[in-house]
Structure 1
Amino acid sequence: MKKISKLLIGTNNKGKYREIKDLLPKYIKTYSTSKFKLKSPTEDGLTFTENSIIKSKHFSKKTKLICLADDSGLEIDILDKSPGIYSARWGGKKGNFKKAINRVYRELSKKDKNWKHKKIKARFICALSICYLDKKIASVLGKVEGHISEKPKGKNGFGYDPIFVPKNKRKTFGEMSSSHKYKIDHRFIAFKKIKKFL
């Protein structure tokens, strides 16, 4: 397979776009979906992997470019792995993550009033898929284990970053510098696996 020199990053999330662009080899010219004014497809897969393939194929067919798409989210064990593939939807139509984070805390309090005194196990998962038109080139999964912080901390990152503390760390992703976070997060772990296809 010849080296990929042009790649569409299949996301309308600016934070994700930036992180993926920063992780890609510099020789790859990247395009964003917003440049093409593309709407995201209906994500009706049942797993992160299925949804990342749906997005990747959709954006690739629309632009005729090879597309790398990510589907990622937060799984919280005592919430039966919710919000999971619905992580973005918990923020409502506008993808408001303050709202999503409040919902996580509400659901946790319903499950266990004393949750703040316990380590609530959670993980971030990232599925990355590269597709060209209807053909899947690669699909990988990255995970990072951790727990939920008792209150949101830090202004960096995006999404649920302010409430996730990775294993063996004291700070949330929201408190870490992006260069630090990028070296340990779920997207980086998935990237290490997908690099050989780039």
Structure 2
Amino acid sequence: MLKKKITKILVGTNNTGKLKEIRDLLPKNLKIYSTSDFKIKSPIENGKTFEENSLIKARYFSKKSKMICLSDDSGLEIDVLEGAPGIYSARWGGKKGDFVKATKKVFKELNKKDKNWRIKKIKARFICALTIYGPNQKTINSVGKIEGYISPSIKGENGFGYDPIFIPKGKQVTFGEMKASQKYKIDHRFKAFKKIKKFF
């Protein structure tokens, strides 16, 4: 087991939305670094699962920075699309990770499957895999999931990525319509983080 708690960490992501969310989850007394502090570009993510990609990122950023790193790989799975976009969630937005483009692609694919999808409950879930990796550090993994449905239209300006089209189960609004403080209490990243926060 760990000899001591982690006191400083690199958040291994070049996604500013993700960086903000993870920073908000981490304890306030932790010294947090971002990849921009080291000018590190992102690695090629060639894993087959969220967990594999999360580990690839954590290991890569840790070795480049010589720091303990926390990396996240997350995405949206839609049942009728056989789990797509899944680990390719960001890549559906093209090279620039444009989520307006990615969201349009989700709607286009759903239209191909079923013209009437907007009046049905299209089951989906957000998944987040977190990995802590670093020198003299036991590798720690956790996964969080939140079930929900695809909104028939884009709603809300908050959050990032697919948040404006995801309605969590039991709610009437999308993540994009929620205040960050509401979303953070229930989302996939929070659920994954809850499992590892004892290490900080």
- Give the TM-score range, shorter chain: over 0.9
Shift of 1:109: 0.3
- Aligned partner of 1:26 in structure 2 is 28
- Aligned partner of 1:84 in structure 2 is 86
Structure 1, residues 48-80: CA drift from partner, whole Å, max 9, x if none? 000000000000000011000000000000000
- Aligned partner of 1:36 in structure 2 is 38
* Equivalences for residues 180-195 of structure 1 within 5 A: 180-195=182-197
Identity of aligned residues (%): 68
Partner AA of 1:164 in structure 2: F
3-state DSSP class of the match of 1:155? coil
Instruction: Identify which of 17, 20, 35 aligns with 2:19.
Output: 17
- Aligned partner of 1:155 in structure 2 is 157
Structure 1 stretch 158-167 or stretch 126-135: which is displaced more? 126-135
How many residue pairs get aligned? The number is: 198
Instruction: Identify which of 55, 72, 75 aligns with 1:73.
Output: 75
Instruction: Identify which of 117, 120, 129 aligns with 1:115.
Output: 117
3-state DSSP class of the match of 2:100? helix
> Residues 136 and 99 (structure 1 numbering): CA distance in 2 closer, same or farther, change over 3 Å?
farther
Asked if the contact 2:130–2:143 (Cα under 8 Å) also holds between the matched residues in 1, the reply is yes
Shift of 1:36: 0.9
Structure 2, unmatched stretches of 5+, are none
3-state DSSP class of the match of 1:82? coil
Shift of 1:34: 1.1
Asked if the contact 2:68–2:137 (Cα under 8 Å) also holds between the matched residues in 1, the reply is no
Shift of 1:196: 2.0
- Aligned partner of 1:165 in structure 2 is 167
The alignment's TM-score, normalised by the length of structure 2, stands at 0.97
Structure 1, residues 114-139: CA drift from partner, whole Å, max 9, x if none? 10010000000000000014965200
Asked if the contact 1:138–1:197 (Cα under 8 Å) also holds between the matched residues in 2, the reply is no
3-state DSSP class of the match of 1:147? strand
- The separation in 2 between residues aligned to 1:104 and 1:197, in whole angstroms, is 37
- The separation in 1 between residues aligned to 2:160 and 2:40, in whole angstroms, is 21
Shift of 1:161: 0.2
The alignment's TM-score, normalised by the length of structure 1, stands at 0.98
- The separation in 1 between residues aligned to 2:113 and 2:196, in whole angstroms, is 37
The alignment yields a C-alpha RMSD, in angstroms, of: 1.0
Asked if the contact 1:101–1:160 (Cα under 8 Å) also holds between the matched residues in 2, the reply is yes
Structure 1, unmatched stretches of 5+, are none
Structure 1, residues 119-170: CA drift from partner, whole Å, max 9, x if none? 0000000000000149652001000000000000000000000000000000
3-state DSSP class of the match of 2:6? coil
- Aligned partner of 1:143 in structure 2 is 145
